[in-house]
Amino acid sequence: RKTLVAGLMTGLARLRNVRRPDRNSDVLRDLDGIGLVIGRNDKLHERTPGHERMQNNPLIKMENMGLGNFGILSTIPNLAEELMLRLEPHYGSTHREREEYKAEAASFVAFRTLEAYASPREMAKALLAPSAAERFGMAYDIMARHREELYEWTKTLSDDLADCGEECGDLW
C-alpha cells in the first residue's frame, strides 16, 4: 500500500506539471512535444480525460491517501514492539508473558495504522473483537480493500498520464 501511495502522489504531481500554471485553466500544455507526434495541436490540447474522477476520489481527501501518519514510516511489528515497551510498566510480568500478548498489541497497532481509512464503525467493531485473531482478520480485509482501491486508482492515473504523453512505468 505504501508503494502504491508513493506512486500515486508522484503521478499526481506529474499530472499537475503537465497542466498550465494557471490552476483555473482547463487545458494542458504539450511540454514534451508528444502532441506533434500524435497529431494534436502543438500549443494546447484538451483536458485530461478522467480529471474530475481523480479530483473527486475520496482517497485524495484522506491523510496520505488513507495511510495516515501513524504507520507510514514503520512496520506493524516494529510499532507493536514499541507499544509493548511503553505498556510494560502498566502490566505485570505474567500478563506480558502470555502467548497472546504480542498478537494483541500487534492487532491494535494494525488498526491504529488503518484509522485514516477505516470507517468509525469498523474501528468500533475492532475494539469490541474478543480475540486478536479476529481483529487481525478484520484488519487484513480492510487493508486488502484499501489496496484494491489504490490499485484501481493507479490504472486510472496511468491512463491519464499516458494520454498526456507521460510514461509512468516507474511509478508502480
User: Across residues 14-39, what is the average pLDDT?
Assistant: 57
Of 6, 43, 56, 49, the closest CA to residue 162 belongs to 49
Q: Can you give the pLDDT at residue 172? A: 61
Range 115-130 burial, b when 16+ CB lie within 10 A, else e? bbbbeeebbeebeebe
Alpha helices in 19-131 (DSSP H): 34-37, 51-55, 58-61, 76-87, 93-96, 100-113, 120-128
- 142 vs 43, more confident: 142
Q: Can you give the pLDDT at residue 27? A: 54
Question: pLDDT band at residue 41, thresholds of 50, 70 and 90?
Answer: very low
**pLDDT 10s digits, 46-82:** 444 455 556 667 777 777 777 778 878 888 999 999 9
User: Across residues 127-156, what is the average pLDDT?
Assistant: 92
* Mean pLDDT score of the chain: 79
Give helix 100-113 / helix 120-128 axis angle, nearest 10°: 170
